[in-house]
Structure 1
Amino acid sequence: MSTSDHGTIATNDEDVVVLYRGGRLPSWYQLDSSQQLEFQQQHVDLMLDVAREHRLRNMDGYRLIAPRGAWERFWAIAFPDLDGAEAWMTAEVAPPYGRYGYYEYDLARRWRPDSLSWLPTRTMDASEKDPRSVPDLSVDTGSIVVLCFSRWQRGSDAVAPDVRGDDRRRRRLQEVAQEHGLMHGEVFRLVGSGRDGDLVWALEFPDLAGAEAWINAEVEPPGGAYHERTYNLVRRWAPGYFASWCSTR
C-alpha cells in the first residue's frame, strides 16, 4: 500500500477527516457508575451539538481486536471543512470526560486515485433511535477489517515501477478482493506524515481468511520489500448507532 497507487451518509473527497486513535484511561474505571453515566451523557450531548453545527458527514468507528496499551478504538470522522474538525477535537478532550481518555489525532483527506477505483464501498444503515440515548454498544461481528498504516521505504520511489512490481501487486490484490468478497475499501492520505506512515487503509472482509489473504498479498515480493506497513485487525464499532450521528445535520 503506497502512494504508487497514483461511508456512512454523504462523502466528499474534499472533506477534512479526523483520524483518531483513542481509548479510556485506567482512571475512568475508578469512577463510580453514576459519575461515568453523568460524564458520558455530557460528552455525548456536546459532541452531537458539534456534529449538528458543523455538518458531520461521516463517522466510522472500529475496535481493535487486540488493544495496544490505552489505544482501543480507531475513528475516521469527516467534516466539510477544517473548522468542523478543529471544533470536534477541542470538544472531545474537554473536561470532565476528556480527562479520562487517550487521544492521538491526525488530519487526512480521502484518497481514491484511478488505480483504486475498483475498491467497493459500503453504506451503513443509521439507527432510527435518538442518538442522545446511548444504547449498549458492541462490535459488528459480521465482518473483520484490516487497518493498515503505510509508507514508502526510503528510496523506493526512485525505483522503476516494473522493478517494484506495481502492476503485479495490484492484480494480486484485486484477485484477493474478488476471491474473498472484499466488502469495503477506503484510503486516507494524511496531511503531512504520521508516526506510522502517510496512508491509512481500511479493508473490510466477511471473515479472517480474507483479511489474512490480503495481508499476505501485500507483503509478497517484490512489492512487499518497498513499503513499511503496520497492520491491525479491527471490527466495526456500533456502526448503526454512530451512523445516526450524521443524520442530526
Structure 2
Amino acid sequence: MFESSNTKKDSVVVFLKGGRIPSWYDLSPEEQDSYSVEHINLMRSIIDKHKIIKLEGYKLFSPINAWQFFWAIEFPTFEGAEAWINAEMEPPYGKYGSLNYYLARRIEHMEVHSVINESEQHPVINENDLDHTNLEEDKNSVVVITFEISVPGSDLLNLDEGQRQKYIKNIYSVSKQHELIRLEAYQLITPQSNWRTTVITEFPTINGAKAWIDLQEDPSYIRFKTRTNYLSHKWAPRYFAKWIK
C-alpha cells in the first residue's frame, strides 16, 4: 500500500517493544512506586525539553515473553529521540525493563483518509486518569499493529493493475464498513531482516480488526509482502494524553 509513498523527514519516531523483567516483581510495592515516580519525573523533563509530538502505548492481547507493550514516541529531532531512549534506560527503573528500540519515519499516505472515522471523541480526563498506579488498557477499540517487509525479488514481479485496483477498493470497503478510526504507517530507518514497515490501524470492534487482517491475505498483496499482525488495546490513553502539551 505504501510502496510509492514518501517518508516525512520533519520528525523521528521511536518504537519500543518492551515490558518488565521478572525481577521487577521481587521489589516491594513501596520500591516499585518510588522508582516509578522518579522515572515519571525524568521522562516528563525530557518531554518539556524536547517538545514531544506523540506518545502512545499499546498493550498486546498476548504478550510474547517479556514483550507486552508497543510504544510509538515522536519527537521533532533526533536529539529528542536519543534523550528519551537514554532516560528510559536510566536506573533504577530502567534496569528492570526489557527494552528494544527502533527508529522510524512517518509515511505520508492518502489512500483511505477519506473514510477514516473523524467523529472519534476525545474523552474527558478526570482525576482518576492521572493516577500512575491505576493505569488500564482501553477496551473501547482494537488496534492492529502490523510489521511487514517486501518479499525479496518482488520488485521484479509484474503487478497486475486490475488486482491492485481491486485490493484498493477492498481497503475502502473494509474501512467504511467497520468504521476505521486510525491508519498510520512508518518506515524503519534501520530495516530488520523481517520488518521494515509498521502499519497501525484502529477499529471500534474486533470484527473490524479481523476483517483488516484477512484483507492482507488477498493474493494480489500477499505475494509481494510478508507480515506479522498483533492485536492490542491502547494503553492508558487518558493518562498519557496529559503528557503532551
TM-score between both structures, scaled by the size of structure 1: 0.89
Pairwise CA RMSD: 2.3
| Alignment partner, residue 37 of structure 1 | 33
How many residues of Structure 1 are paired with residues of Structure 2 in the alignment?
242
| Alignment partner, residue 51 of structure 1 | 47
Does 2:88 align with 1:92? Answer: yes
1:66 to 47, 62, 78: 62
Q: Larger relative CO (CA 8 A, sep 6+): 1 or 2?
A: 1
Does 2:210 align with 1:217? Answer: no
1:151–1:118 CA distance, 2 compared to 1 (3 A): farther
Gaps of 5+ in 1: 7-11
2:216 partner SS: helix
Contact 2:112 2:175 in 1 (8 A): no
Gaps of 5+ in 2: none
Residue by residue over 1:74-132, the C-alpha shift from the partner in whole angstroms, topping out at 9 and shown as x without a partner, is 01101010000000000001100011001111111111233354463768557465998
Q: What are the residue-to-residue correspondences of 1:3-18 with 2, within 5 Å? A: 3-4=3-4, 14-18=10-14
Mapped to 2, the partners of 1:230 and 1:114 lie a distance apart of 23
| Alignment partner, residue 233 of structure 2 | 235
1:164–1:67 CA distance, 2 compared to 1 (3 A): farther
1:166–1:79 CA distance, 2 compared to 1 (3 A): same
Mapped to 1, the partners of 2:89 and 2:199 lie a distance apart of 26
Mapped to 2, the partners of 1:110 and 1:68 lie a distance apart of 26
Contact 2:11 2:76 in 1 (8 A): yes
Contact 1:13 1:111 in 2 (8 A): no
Mapped to 2, the partners of 1:5 and 1:14 lie a distance apart of 15
| Alignment partner, residue 246 of structure 1 | 244
Does 2:92 align with 1:105? Answer: no
User: Which amino acid in structure 1 is aligned with residue 223 of structure 2?
Assistant: A
Contact 2:104 2:186 in 1 (8 A): yes
Mapped to 1, the partners of 2:162 and 2:191 lie a distance apart of 22
Mapped to 2, the partners of 1:28 and 1:162 lie a distance apart of 53
Mapped to 2, the partners of 1:108 and 1:126 lie a distance apart of 31
Query: Mean Cα displacement is larger for which, 95-104 or 127-136?
Result: 127-136
Does 2:190 align with 1:166? Answer: no
Contact 2:129 2:135 in 1 (8 A): no
1:222 partner SS: helix
| Alignment partner, residue 9 of structure 1 | none
Contact 1:110 1:187 in 2 (8 A): yes
Query: Mean Cα displacement is larger for which, 102-111 or 123-132?
Result: 123-132
Mapped to 2, the partners of 1:188 and 1:43 lie a distance apart of 28
Contact 1:173 1:218 in 2 (8 A): no
User: Which amino acid in structure 2 is aligned with residue 136 of structure 1?
Assistant: N
TM-score between both structures, scaled by the size of structure 2: 0.91
**Pairwise CA distance, 1:13:** 6.3
**Pairwise CA distance, 1:246:** 0.8
Contact 1:106 1:194 in 2 (8 A): no
Contact 1:108 1:190 in 2 (8 A): yes
| Alignment partner, residue 178 of structure 1 | 176
**Pairwise CA distance, 1:133:** 5.0
| Alignment partner, residue 206 of structure 2 | 208
1:82 to 75, 78, 90: 78
